[in-house]
Amino acid sequence: MVPNFETVFFLLSKLLAFLISPIIWIIVLFFVFVYSKNERRRKKCFLWGFGLLLFFSNSFIFDEFSRAWEIPATQYEDLKIYDVGVVLGGMSVYDEDFERPQFYRGVDRLLQAIELYKLGIIKKIIFTSGSGRILHPEMKEGEYLKRYILYMGVPEKDFLIESESQNTRENALFTKKLIDDNKIKGRFLLITSAFHMRRSLNCFRTVGLEVTPYSTDRYAGPRKFEFDHLFIPNPSAINDWNTLIHEVVGYITYKIIGYG
């Protein structure tokens, strides 16, 4: 059977995520430096590799780029009352040995959504997330996090689960269908990470769902001019860059193919 476009796109996106990782670039440059017999090439690769390592491990530089990209957070007093808060997943992985999820920093999306629900700012929650894993498509985040939403005090009548989507485009498409099928009207608050909000907003508006952004788990906090933040390399910054670059490339790719 010939795979459809969505499947091919999903697989290619996983490959692209690997290729655009800064640490891959740095490893390749140092690999050439070690094994190349051309002295000039070795010198260039070492300088480029060392330079990129310093650049991508600098927390201050990452914060500045991240601040320019992220959609700012919103004060409570600037919010209205919303009929639905749409929460995008991608915040956990299921641990089969212990039969429970392990959460990433993206869980801030869900925690803040529940707080908004408790405060009466949103009346209902839609959680949208299937499986983002190639080898385990059956591990659908929406399904295994349902019990956590119940445990945190949200009654089942006040939340809906969409568990088939594999990417942001499908989050928007399937959420729109869920809303239409349940004849839900009113205001919608889109809740996702600040770095992910640009692409998410475009996707939801492209499918005809007008939403208000509510950014969570921002990478760029207050600007700091502390010595360690400015000058001491931070390994975690390299991983943070991987997230940011992946999101910018995803945003551009979605624009090109008409997803949003």
Domain boundaries, the chain: 5-70+230-257, 76-216
**pLDDT score of 1 more than 90:** no
Share of the chain above pLDDT 90, in %: 82
pLDDT number for residue 135: 62
pLDDT number for residue 99: 87
| pTM to 2 decimal places | 0.90
**pLDDT score of 2 more than 60:** no
**pLDDT score of 239 more than 70:** yes
Q: Give Cα separations from 116 to 111, 157, 192 (angstroms).
A: 9, 16, 13
The 10 Å CB-count burial string (b at 16+, else e) for 143-160 is bbbbebbeeeebeeeebb
pLDDT tens per residue across span 173-218: 999 999 999 999 999 999 999 999 999 999 999 999 999 999 999 9
Give the CATH fold of the 76-216 domain. Answer: Rossmann fold (3.40.50)
Name beta bridge partners: 214. Answer: 191
What pLDDT band is residue 15 in, cutting at 50, 70 and 90? confident
C-alpha 238 chain-centroid distance: 16
